[in-house]
Amino acid sequence: MTDREQYTPGPASGAQVRKDGERWTLILVRELRHSPEKVWQALTDPAHLREWAPFITDGNLGTVGTVKLTWVGAPTPLETTVKRADAPRVLEYNDTRWELEGFAGGTRLTLWHNIDRRFISWGAAGWHISFDVLDHLLAGHPIGCIAGADAMKFSGWQRLNDEYAKQFGIKTPVGRPTPRSLEE
């Protein structure tokens, strides 16, 4: 059995939601056993991103400028502006902000992601799995990207979705998101 076949996501944790007017922000915190420099490379290098993130890029996110970012399942790339790239502490592009803080010999990674309120528990479940895949990759045991529709088919995704929805006090939408519904 492979590491991927043995992988099961843990319980929903380290997430919160903030609402500012009509804007909803998903905030996820994960403590990783790896240095901020190593985590930074995984957040910015296109080869690393392909292994764990729910998107791919045509360039490095570690420098201010423009790259094309394609979310898993989306039909076309989005022109993405990296607004801030202070290695290895802060990375900001489009509606996403990452903060890395040295913590107990590793890194406390915090993600702020603006997201449609209808899909906030789905987003939390998806990022949870992506963070697990990232941790495996950084530990030298890659299990391959599990994102988009593949994540929703994965054992444990529905449980995570339900747990996050309960934590956030929201109802989960019926059905599964499509690239089109996520753009609406």
Rounded average pLDDT over 121-137: 95
Residue 29 pLDDT > 90, yes or no? yes
For range 132-146, the mean pLDDT? 95
Name the least confident of 17-26, 115-124, 164-173: 164-173
Residue-level pLDDT at 183: 40
Rounded to the nearest 5°, which phi and psi values hold at 141?
A: -125, 65
Res 3: pLDDT:
74
* pLDDT tens per residue across span 31-78: 999 999 999 999 999 999 999 999 999 999 999 999 999 999 999 999
Give the CA radius of gyration of the chain: 16
Residue 2: pLDDT band (50, 70, 90) is low
The pLDDT score that the predictor gives to residue 180 is 38
pLDDT tier, 4 (very low <50, low <70, confident <90, very high otherwise): confident
Is 176's pLDDT higher than 60?
no
Residue 52 DSSP SS3: helix
* Both structure tokens of 147: 């994102």
Give the three-class secondary structure for 100.
Answer: strand
Q: Per residue in 70-103, is it b (16+ CB within 10 Å) or e — as a string?
A: ebbbbeeeeebebeebeebebbbbeebbbbbeee
Domain 3-183: CATH class, spelled out: alpha beta
What pTM was estimated for this model as a whole? 0.90
**pLDDT given for residue 172 in this prediction:** 67
Q: What share of the chain has pLDDT > 70, as a percent? A: 92
Distances, alpha carbon 88 to alpha carbons 44, 109, 154, in Å: 10, 11, 32
